[in-house]
Amino acid sequence: MANAPVMRMTAAKYLAWERVAPERHEYVHGSVFCMTGGSPRHAALQGAMSGILWNGHRDGRVLGTDMRIVAEDGEHYVYADVSVVCGPSALAEGTEDVLSNPSIVVEVLSKSTEAYDRGKKWDGYQKIPTVTDYVLVSQSEPHVEHYQREDDGQWLYQSVGPGGHVKLRTGATIDVDTLYRGVFDLKGD
């Protein structure tokens, strides 16, 4: 994450403080980082991905950027650009607003957060046993990267460009051309 830590605090203090903070913040091993707003292209890709996933998961719930996720209890709390819960939602113990069981997690890459999304954030998502698919969406070109958890716990990587499709473990399919339709008319980061 390119942003410098705003402050340091315990996880319990972070969760209480974050519930009333005007901006969103992520928590990584005692450090709190402010999450900056995205570009119009980022917002369009996030919205398109939400629609694609909603159409592919009528029995699941598609959640936006306001849903906090526990990546590592007491150590790492994040906000995904889009997430999907298949089956009943589960909340982190002692909370009413921290999701503990996403199935699909999507991050739209930004210059300021790409290293974090590929690094510490990805490390955290891998620790969530319910995550079956991690999707990275480029803002600079029609390109989707997909990590899928196999039955043996290993992650299978796929890189897909124009004309391609990503089939999620849950059965939904992301059509790259549909995802990127019209987004390059908007300003990126």
Q: Report the alpha-carbon distance of residue 182 to residue 153 in Å, rounded.
A: 37
**pLDDT tens, residue by residue, 116-154:** 999 999 999 999 999 999 999 999 999 999 999 999 999
Write the DSSP assignment of 122-148 as a string of letters: HHHHHT-TT--EEEEE-SSSS-EEEEE
Per-residue DSSP letters for 72-117? ETTTEEEE-SEEEE-SS--B-TT-SSEE---SEEEEE--TTTHHHH
Which residues are registered as beta bridge partners of 98? 68
Confidence of residue 1 (pLDDT cuts 50, 70, 90): low
List the domain boundaries for the chain. Answer: 39-185
Residue 57: pLDDT over 70? yes
Report residue 75 CA to chain centroid gap.
17
φ, ψ (nearest 5 deg) of residue 126: -65, -25
In angstroms, the CA 27 to CA 49 distance is 25
List of residues 6+ apart from 17 with CB closer than 8 A: 9
The region that residue 110 occupies, defined by phi over 0 for left and psi between -120 and 50 for alpha, beta otherwise, is beta
Convert the pLDDT of each residue in 67-124 to its tens digit: 999 999 999 999 999 999 999 999 999 999 999 999 999 999 999 999 999 999 999 9
Sole residue written with tokens 């480029």: 138
CATH (one of 3.90.1570.10, 3.40.640.10, 3.10.129.10, 1.10.1450.10) for 39-185: 3.90.1570.10
CA distance 186 to 40: 6
